[in-house]
Amino acid sequence: MLSKIYQYPLLFALIIFSSCGDSESTRKSSSNIRKPLSWGKSDVVFVFADDKVWDYGKLEIIKSLEREFFTTRNEKLFAVQRQNIKDIKRYYKFSNLLFFCDSNFNNPTSQYVKEILPDKVSSLSDSIQANIFVAKDLWAQNQTVVFIIGKDIEALLLYTFEQSNTIFNIFKNREIERIKNLVYKPDLNKDEVKYQKQNYPWQIDLPKSYIPFKRDNESHFVSYLLRVEKYPDRFLAVYWENMPENTVNKEWLWNKRLEIGKKYYEGDEFSHQDATREKVKFLSYDAFKLSGRWQNPNHFTGGAFASFAFYDEKQKIAYLIDNAIFFPEGNKLRALMGLEIISKTFKNNEKGIDEK
């Protein structure tokens, strides 16, 4: 039996676990403000697995969790670090923990999970040979703990590989929650939101820390800026135009974003080798996304951007929402994610361009 020094005193009956199965959704536990805040390193997933599980599964586990996203270079949302279960007490307050349990063996990590989750282990059967259990805020606030349990090592690893997207999205979605909490910690820029509602056919929940940067009401363009020393400069812009029939497509987005860069961004541009175009869902809209790297040949600068274009059938208005980052010295992925969170608070005001 695993020594009790590795266990943390808590009442598991008070924790709400969710069994994911084939679903990517997780059930959230009630937040306990009496628990300590999780420590940093939300960009690291700490993994606890017995040697045999890790030896057979590490390549696929790392490949899945260390997915790369292109900004100005390939950036990873998470890095994987395997830790020894003997040191578990050091990690109770970290943001992301992932445990693997082979219920057939009493190796240290599997035994630890079996002792704290006996009912989850006993729920496995011939028909359900493996499962995922997720605990939110288990030992600390803003924490995600994922347990993957299998009847044997083969079932455990096969299930892990089959559910790799689910596992990644559990951690990704919780990271989006953390970013959203940081983005809206300063509350809203209520004056600007009010101005949008009165003067534009749309509005967004603009955080208080963002200020108007360039406003061209006549040409239906406005941009906002967040600038904080030692952090990425963030630009969020909205362009809109009357369009009796929907002609928004990848080419429209490409050309319109180049036009905006030339007119409002002092000559920003991008090339085919540095940008990708794809169909996406943006809120309820069928949209197009253009993303990659922008450059400014006039100022010898560059950065990352992501633009979304969509058509509002009721308003007969085409929209382009642009997110851009300037931060030569550091990573840009999480800043872009924060901008997308703000962009996706978009609401139409159910009026046309010339209506007040």
DSSP 37: B
The answer to whether residues 173 and 200 belong to one domain is: no
Residue 15 has pLDDT above 50, yes or no: no
The answer to whether residues 174 and 296 belong to one domain is: no
The answer to whether residues 231 and 215 belong to one domain is: yes
The torsion of the CA quartet 242, 248, 250, 255, rounded to 10 degrees, works out to -20
The answer to whether residues 153 and 193 belong to one domain is: no
Single pTM value for the model? 0.85
The answer to whether residues 167 and 201 belong to one domain is: no
In a domain? residue 40: yes
The answer to whether residues 286 and 344 belong to one domain is: yes
- Residue 139 confidence class, pLDDT cut points 50, 70, 90: very high
In a domain? residue 12: yes
In a domain? residue 356: no
pLDDT digits (tens, 9 = 90+) for 242-278: 999 999 999 999 999 999 999 999 888 999 889 999 9
pLDDT of residue 32: 57
- State which residues form the domain around 27: 4-182
From 127, 162, 182, the end of a domain falls on 182
User: What's the whole-number average pLDDT of the chain?
Assistant: 89
Residue 352 has pLDDT above 70, yes or no: no
The answer to whether residues 276 and 229 belong to one domain is: yes
Q: Which long-range contacts (CB under 8 A, 24 or more apart) does 269-273 make?
A: 269/294, 269/295, 269/296, 269/297, 270/294, 270/295, 270/305, 271/295
pLDDT digits (tens, 9 = 90+) for 143-161: 999 999 999 999 999 999 9
pLDDT digits (tens, 9 = 90+) for 33-44: 678 888 778 999
Reduce the secondary structure of 237-291 to three states and give it as a string: EEEEEECCCCCCCHHHHHHHHHHHHHHHCCCCECCHHHEEEEEEEECCEEEEEEE
pLDDT of residue 6: 34
Residue 114 has pLDDT above 60, yes or no: yes
In a domain? residue 353: no
- Residue 350 confidence class, pLDDT cut points 50, 70, 90: confident
From 182, 200, 226, the end of a domain falls on 182
Degrees to nearest 5, angle at CA 310 with 308 and 311? 160
pLDDT digits (tens, 9 = 90+) for 185-232: 989 999 999 999 999 999 999 999 999 999 999 999 999 999 998 889
- Residue 3 confidence class, pLDDT cut points 50, 70, 90: very low
Residue 9 has pLDDT above 60, yes or no: no
In a domain? residue 354: no
The answer to whether residues 173 and 26 belong to one domain is: yes
Residue 164 has pLDDT above 70, yes or no: yes
The answer to whether residues 142 and 265 belong to one domain is: no
The answer to whether residues 306 and 229 belong to one domain is: yes
The answer to whether residues 170 and 210 belong to one domain is: no
pLDDT of residue 28: 40
From 182, 217, 240, the end of a domain falls on 182
pLDDT digits (tens, 9 = 90+) for 297-316: 888 788 999 999 999 999 99
The answer to whether residues 32 and 84 belong to one domain is: yes
Domain count, the chain: 2
C-alpha distances in angstroms, 80 versus 16, 154, 159, 283, 324?
26, 22, 19, 31, 28
Instruction: Find the CATH number of the domain harbouring 326.
Output: 3.40.1000.10
**Which of 19-23, 29-33, 202-206 has the weakest average pLDDT?**
19-23
DSSP 235: E
